[in-house]
Chain A
């Protein structure tokens, strides 16, 4: 009996040896000690290098920033120099949060991905995420650019968010943030009209405004229209807990609200040019549409593009309230698999992207706003000056309500962080990229709804988009 047993175990050893040999040979060659980091990010959401030779950001303190190689290549090189270990970044991209989530559930494996806030919360709730290590949060360590450089404002937003008793900041490191607003052509739309979400229902602009083809963005705008009277009431706006209450109202998903929002969206569908996913930016520049719902980062891009065609566009974050969104880096349990070397590389990747120089390169390249404020370095603010300061001092106006982003609870911060800019920047790129405190006060994060609410909202969205049979038979 014993003999049989040992014979069997011998037989097992042979395939085991083959497997081992295969595994070893697989790791052999050049990549013998390389850590592979599988990154999945939004399309066109990182500096890919290849700037023209004369494209150099020269800041006041003499710092020069340029993107010769992509940030990914620079990171690989830097990691090798600093830690003596090679990292191979396998970079891929996704188009929507839902697409990323579907990929992950089908079985695609990544180590670190960059979804939006609500998707981060969903992934947290489903236990997909690997928490950041304690050493990542150590502010003493010089290399911890993220923890040291994160804007105090964004930090406070993160601290307010938790899922099932766990802080969002344990699992996510911010990347880009912004508001949801309206890009408009000032020649066709008045500033006053663009200050309110109900521009989507404005009959004067019949079939000339686009709205985002995304449930959440459309829902938010329609909810703001629905609760207009309530949330613009001076008594409400003056209340001490204004922000909490605004957040509660604009995040309502009870059946009654969903129905009211649905009715507004059906009306909007009849009035707007279209629900668009990507065509809105180009259509604004060509003048096919005169206003469109847009995220602030895309707004900056649209305004830049339009400028090249000598079209002057503006951005507005509506007065009733706006959606504060952010995208952040999260590590996936399924990818990291408790591999310390991999986790170290992933955290180093976030820190590398959070260096003020990297943040500036990204902002210059993609137009979005980094969550990094600098943390002791003035590079970010200097970049603002480099980008937006007025050439002619006589025409300059002060843009001075953005101190909140750079320093917490400091009376003088607004004074220190004042950009002398041109008058038109007060409602253009600068305003879109770094919204004043007054806009931020009335911006709320849109929560990750529970399954029941999600189903209700999705069903209502289908109702908005599907053909109404009653129309065919002329019934109302």
Chain B
């Protein structure tokens, strides 16, 4: 029989083209601008300047504080929900999941506009608590992105493991901490990556809740607005490196765990 002219490898071609054109090339452009000066000479000045400038470091710290807070709160809120959804004994499980993920279908600026009205009712003047409102709105915005991967990880979790834990006399909390949590680490990690980076850069949320302090995203934008492509690019590159380190680190954690098991 003649082999089909499309074998499996060739099916990857469309995505490969997409990857090169829209992921790899822009990244190279970003790196080029990041590591050259205004005249196009190779330079690490922008890179070192970022870490020696108190103000840009201040922005990094501020973004990190926001991102960590948002991620932790999302995790605390999402975990029980995902667990109940995944392990609960009831019909129409997926319809319930839908309810929690539904907000993702609505544009986030619209959702935050609505949330702002509610917050205004509660607080009065939103500008009194810009930091708190930023965290609240980001948690609201990114929660579904945490629930989804956790739900997937917990559905795959083998029920017999939990039962084994109980049979061996562990309490509910012991099972949770010693069995369920370790087994859902991959879900936690993918949830965290999906929330953490957007929380560091999504400055639209800050604009909308009247927080006038820059985060990484707005800092990048401000450099591009003043035609300083080099500094704008190096910050994007630094963010990329941060996320890269994070991914490598978490991969290590997972593979170590698997090796130990």
Which residues of A approach B to under 8 Å, CB–CB? 96, 98-99, 101-102, 105, 207-208, 213, 215, 269, 272-277, 279, 288, 454-455, 458, 461-463, 465-469, 472
Contact = CB atoms under 8 A, between A and B. Distances in A.
Given A213-B207, A468-B58, 15 more contacts: A102-B227, A207-B127, A269-B212, A272-B212, A274-B130, A275-B212, A288-B120, A458-B228, A462-B55, A462-B56, A465-B212, A466-B58, A466-B214, A467-B61, A469-B58
A273 B128 CA distance: 8
A3 to B, nearest CB: 45
Nearest to B57: A469
A207 to B, nearest CB: 4
A272 B61 CA distance: 23
Interface string B164-185: 0000000000000000000000
B212 A462 contact: no
A259 to B, nearest CB: 14
Contacts of B126: 288
26 contacts: A96-B225, A99-B225, A105-B227, A207-B125, A207-B128, A213-B212, A272-B127, A272-B212, A273-B127, A274-B127, A277-B207, A288-B120, A288-B125, A462-B56, A462-B219, A462-B222, A463-B55, A465-B212, A465-B214, A466-B55, A466-B58, A467-B58, A467-B62, A467-B213, A468-B55, A472-B61
Interface of B: 54-59, 61-62, 120, 125-128, 130, 207-208, 210-214, 218-219, 222, 224-228
Given A98-B226, A101-B227, A467 B59 contact: yes
B127 A465 contact: no
Contacts of B55: 462-463, 466, 468
A207 B55 CA distance: 24
Contacts of A466: 55-56, 58-59, 62, 213-214, 219
Contact of B226 (A207, A208, A275, A458): A458
Given A462-B55, A466-B59, A468-B58, A274 B227 contact: no
Nearest to A274: B210
A170 B12 CA distance: 56
Contacts, number: 77
A213 B210 CA distance: 11
Nearest to B128: A207
Contacts of A468: 55, 58
B69 to A, nearest CB: 14
User: Which are the 4 A-B pairs with shortest beta-carbon distances?
Assistant: A467-B62, A274-B210, A207-B127, A466-B55
Nearest to A277: B207
Give the secondary structure class of A's interface.
helix
A365 to B, nearest CB: 26
A455 B222 CA distance: 12
A455 B226 CA distance: 8
B211 A467 contact: no
Contacts of A277: 207
Contacts of A272: 127, 212
Contacts of B210: 273-274, 276, 279
A173 to B, nearest CB: 25
Nearest to B211: A274
In this complex, the member of A105, A276, A467 whose beta carbon has the largest number of chain B beta carbons within 10 angstroms is A467
Contacts of A467: 58-59, 61-62, 213-214
Given A274-B211, A461-B222, A465-B218, A208 B58 contact: no
A472 B55 CA distance: 13
B230 to A, nearest CB: 12
Contacts of A275: 212
A465 B54 contact: no
Nearest to B131: A467
A172 B174 CA distance: 76
A465 B213 contact: yes
A469 B226 contact: no
A465 B125 CA distance: 21
A463 B222 CA distance: 12
A208 B125 CA distance: 8
In this complex, the member of B54, B56, B58 whose beta carbon has the largest number of chain A beta carbons within 10 angstroms is B58
A177 B145 CA distance: 47
Nearest to A462: B55
B78 to A, nearest CB: 27
Contact of A98 (B57, B127, B225): B225
Contacts of A102: 224, 227
A207 B126 CA distance: 9
Contacts of A105: 227
Contacts of B222: 458, 461-462, 465
A11 to B, nearest CB: 33
A200 to B, nearest CB: 13
A40 B255 CA distance: 54
Contacts of A458: 222, 226, 228
A99 B207 CA distance: 18
A466 B130 CA distance: 14
A218 to B, nearest CB: 11
Nearest to B229: A102
